[in-house]
Amino acid sequence: MRRERSVELIDTQSGGDVSRIVTAGIEPIPGTTALEKARYLQREGDGLRRLLLSEPYGDPAMSVDLIVEPGHPEAQAGYIIMEAMGYPMYSGSNTICTATALLESGMIPMTGGTQQVVLESPAGLARVTAECADGRVESITTKGEPAFVADRDLRIEVPEYGPVRFDLVWSGAYYALVRADEHGFAITAEEQIALTAFGDAFVRAARPGLRQEHPSLGDVGPLPFVHFAGPIRRGDDGIDESPSATYVHPGVICRSPTGTGTSARLALMAEDGELAPGDALRTISPRGSSFVGTLLGPTQVEGLSAWDSTTTGAARLMAHSRITVDLDDPLVDASDLEPLLRQ
């Protein structure tokens, strides 16, 4: 008897980063909150992440967002983020893609004009403002995790690169913020391979000595991201902008500058007195795509000084698909996948 299952997807992209939104075909995930469900998948059901981010079904440069029942009464939907590095607590580009897919598919009714949406990520509530017109989501502004500077002016010796100075910032995951010009990077498309090699070597050298604990979320895993920060210049529209690149371990330079990378940069600049509430920064990726981050104001995370901000971007739907998963295919690891797939 053939052991085949099907999974329904909406493929989206924001700033060039592809997010695969899983809308059907998955059994209910144990747990009440999105965080509990994400940690269950990490322990017991990682086969879904590996399937959709690996050949022949996917690519490690993609992300996956599984739609789940929310645990918080304010949330209209929950989502679990899966990437090559594992299970991030929050992601700006994935939130932009997920909110767009839910609205344009009708899973959350679109009312037109300016619309408020509340989603539940593993990190907590993501409050989203969607600008909609003619059945399309024109832009998404998402207020995600408060960002805080965890450690300043750290240094690590990286084989073949020498000493690297960086700051450690939480913005939904821990980011190492590296000043690109200190290492000869202008953050251009031609430098993507070199940025990837640098990021890989840096993360391998830095991980053993860095914290993995978040004050309220507990163990969030080893360092997953490096954000390369370029110089700031004034844009033609009067908004400050900066070339920026995010490395995801292992081996991925994001097509977008990333929302969490942007909010980490805002928090660091705010701590240094370079930004005030209401100020904005446009981050521009090596591929030329951009997000706009806006600093809202100070807050606290378990007594630590932190900063609220928003990220504004846009997503586009690329495909609605139903994939067939043959559990007898030797390229499919069915061991922790089969229990998740609805018959």
The CATH classification of domain 4-145+317-340, taken from the options 3.10.310.10, 3.40.50.970, 3.20.20.140, 3.30.70.270: 3.10.310.10
Phi and psi at 158, nearest 5°, equal -110, 120
For the chain, percent of residues with pLDDT exceeding 70: 100
pLDDT given for residue 145 in this prediction: 86
User: Whole-angstrom Cα distance, residue 91 to residue 100?
Assistant: 14
- Active-site residue flag, 91: yes
pLDDT given for residue 227 in this prediction: 98
Respond yes or no on whether the N-terminal peptide bond of residue 250 is cis (omega within 30° of 0): yes
Phi and psi at 337, nearest 5°, equal -105, -40
Sign for the pseudo-dihedral over CA of 329, 58, 170, 301: negative
Tell me if 170 sits within 8 A of 116, measured CB to CB: no
pLDDT given for residue 318 in this prediction: 97
DSSP 8-state assignment for residue 29: P
pLDDT given for residue 335 in this prediction: 87
pLDDT given for residue 69 in this prediction: 97
Residues 6+ apart with CB under 8 A from 49: 41, 64, 82, 86, 87
pLDDT given for residue 121 in this prediction: 96
Q: What is the pLDDT of residues 117-127, one digit of tens each?
A: 999 999 999 99
Assigned architecture for domain 148-312: Roll (3.10)
Q: What is the pLDDT of residues 105-161, one digit of tens each?
A: 999 999 989 999 999 999 999 999 999 999 999 999 999 789 999 999 999 999 999
CA distances from 150 to 177, 273, 281 (A): 11, 17, 21
Selected catalytic residue, list 14, 19, 91, 263: 91
pLDDT given for residue 231 in this prediction: 96
pLDDT given for residue 132 in this prediction: 97
pTM for this prediction: 0.94
pLDDT given for residue 216 in this prediction: 87
Q: What is the pLDDT of residues 153-203, one digit of tens each?
A: 999 999 999 999 999 999 999 999 999 999 999 999 999 999 999 999 999
Among candidates 28, 38, 5, 300, which has minimal Cα distance to 149? Answer: 300
Give 10-residue mean pLDDT values along the chain (343 residues): 92 96 97 97 95 93 96 98 93 97 97 96 95 96 93 96 97 95 97 97 94 88 95 91 96 94 97 96 96 97 94 97 94 90 91
Q: Where in the chain is the domain with CATH 3.10.310.10?
A: 4-145+317-340, 148-312
103-107 — which CB contacts under 8 Å span 24+ positions?
Answer: 103/130, 103/132, 103/137, 104/135, 104/136, 104/137, 104/317, 105/10, 105/23, 105/320, 107/23, 107/67, 107/77
